Amino acid sequence: MGKQEFVIRRTASVEERVDAIQAAFDERGMTPKLSVDELRHLAEEEWPANGARVVAKAWVDPQFRARLLADGAKAVAELGVPMPKHHRHLVVLENDPRVQNVICCTLCSCTAFTLIGLPPDWYKDLEYRSRVVRESRTVLREMGLDLPAEVEIRVWDTTADTRYMVLPERPPGTDGWSEEQLAGIVTRDSLIGVARLQEP
């Protein structure tokens, strides 16, 4: 048996890899820093604000609310909210005192991200994805939403081409508020369905 030769290749450090990618961008005159900042702004500010705006509009305009429940993607387009082409359907799930809708993606981490923002870490966690389906009441309680037994919990599993958004109930004490004020109290968690909005 011949002598075996082992070649040990050192894996480049994260810093070296980042530098290499940066150099490749520089060579091509591209500015990834700008795109990353833009994406972060979209993901953290603009997208969740879209969902809040849609909810506020639905609260004050019953006709819009009806259109939103009938065809979500078409209705949000009226407000100029973009949805990627591959999100073919937007199903808006209306909560009421007896029904709490909750969304998840049991396979990975899909959301209607242009309305909800990028999914929070817990949403991507296997723990949430599997348990929210089997023991939704317990999971919601652990997340701070302790629902009375008479409230039915409906869990919706996102697919590649059907995205969901929860339409939370308008909290009491907000009569006469402007759409902008109302949008200001809508939280990401309420759009996912793991929280209800409290009286301000």
Q: Which residues bind Fe ion (CB under 5 A)?
A: 105, 107-110
Output the smallest distance, CB 128 to Fe ion, in A.
12
Shorter beta-carbon distance to Fe ion: residue 56 or 105? 105
Least gap, CB of 147 to Fe ion (angstroms): 25
Number of Cβ within 10 Å of residue 186's Cβ equals 23
Residue 36 or 107 with smaller CB distance to Fe ion: 107
Q: Which of 13, 35, 104, 108 is catalytic?
A: 108
| 130 given a catalytic annotation | no
Of 46, 57, 48, nearest in space to 79 by CA: 57
Candidate list 13, 104, 109, 178, residue with the active-site label? 109
Provide the minimum distance between the beta carbon of 139 and Fe ion in the complex, in angstroms, as a whole number: 18
Q: Would residue 104 show up in a list of annotated catalytic residues for this protein? A: no
Residues known to be catalytic: 105, 108-110
